[in-house]
Chain A
Amino acid sequence: MGEAIAFYTLAALILGFAVLVVSAKSTVHSVLFLVLTFLFVAALYVTLQAEFLAVIQVLVYAGGIVVLYLFVVMLVNLKRQPETHADPHRRSRLGLALSGLVLAELAAIAMYGSASSPAASGAASAPEVTAMGGNVEQVGWLLYTDYLIPFELASMLLLVAMIGAIVLAKREL
């Protein structure tokens, strides 16, 4: 019962703030609603026993990425909002219709997928991993054994992204 209350509360908060992110007039308000969305998603991760990911969500998303967005909003300094001089031919109706279509598709997948979901096939390493300590130990164990090469690739990706962002944002080379 408590799990259900937590889930429905967090789901309502996440979806409500996500709608505000998309619909807010001011870009700064949009960024602040985005922080709240990320924080409630982190709370949802805690209810799913993913404590490490919740901490990463707060640190990386709410701490890092959102600050980046705020800096860009501040640097861009919009004198005129893009939405105020919208041209009459823009196809937001079409966008809504296409989104509805994708929603119908997702709903169909959810219906058919959950009807014929296979029994949880215990992954090979599940017992040995759950035998060791908490969530952080388990994730760290997997990251440094089975997923070592993807982990190193992610670090390379971040390095390339960092250099790329510096090069792009520099005034002249």
Chain B
Amino acid sequence: MTEITPTHYMLLSAALFMIGVIGVMVRRNIIIILMSIELILNAVNINLVAYAAEQQNVVGQVFALFVVAVAAAEAAVGLGIILAFYRNKETVNIDEMNLMRW
């Protein structure tokens, strides 16, 4: 109980990941869905950093940095798409986003 093993960090990361997945699946607001994806990426980073600390090796932190870079790119492009879509359809509800269906 008092000793924190990598399994503890893995469980925290899994719980954060699941909260993100539930957000993606249950919410209908696409901005909140993108934020849930950020939560998922943070869960991945916690895993990488926890194992980097356990192995006394900073390679995991370098990979977490790349994840942060990809998250920044994803947020910029995703929010650009949301703005372009909102300008055309006046909605951020993913149920109404069916322009490219079929």
Contacts and interface: CB of A to CB of B under 8 A. Distances in A.
B58 A15 contact: no
A3 to B, nearest CB: 5
Contacts of A81: 29
Contact of A61 (B38, B57, B79, B86): B38
27 contacts: A4-B4, A14-B16, A15-B12, A18-B39, A21-B39, A34-B38, A50-B52, A52-B61, A64-B72, A65-B75, A72-B79, A76-B82, A82-B28, A87-B95, A96-B25, A96-B26, A106-B14, A123-B55, A126-B56, A126-B57, A129-B57, A147-B62, A157-B69, A165-B76, A168-B81, A168-B83, A169-B80
Interface of A: 1, 3-4, 7, 11, 14-15, 18-19, 21-22, 27, 30-31, 34, 37-38, 41, 44-45, 48-50, 52-53, 56-57, 60-61, 64-65, 68-69, 72-73, 75-76, 78, 81-83, 86-87, 90, 92, 95-96, 98-99, 102-103, 106-107, 110, 114, 120, 122-123, 126, 129-130, 135, 138-139, 142-143, 147, 150, 154, 157-158, 160-162, 164-169, 171
Given A157-B70, A168-B84, A83 B62 contact: no
Given A41-B46, A76-B86, A161-B77, 9 more contacts: A3-B4, A19-B19, A22-B32, A22-B36, A37-B39, A82-B94, A150-B66, A154-B66, A168-B80
A169 B79 CA distance: 8
Taking residues whose C-beta sits less than 8 angstroms from the other chain, chain B's interface range is 35 or more
Contacts of B72: 60, 64-65, 158, 161
A143 to B, nearest CB: 6
A2 B30 CA distance: 40
A14 B45 CA distance: 13
| Shortest beta-carbon contacts, A-B, top 9 | A95-B25, A168-B80, A161-B73, A82-B93, A22-B23, A165-B80, A165-B76, A48-B53, A154-B69
A82 B58 CA distance: 43
A49 B61 CA distance: 10
Given A30-B32, A61-B38, A157-B69, A99 B25 contact: yes
Contacts of B75: 65, 68-69
Most buried by A among B7, B46, B72, B82: B72
A25 B68 CA distance: 27
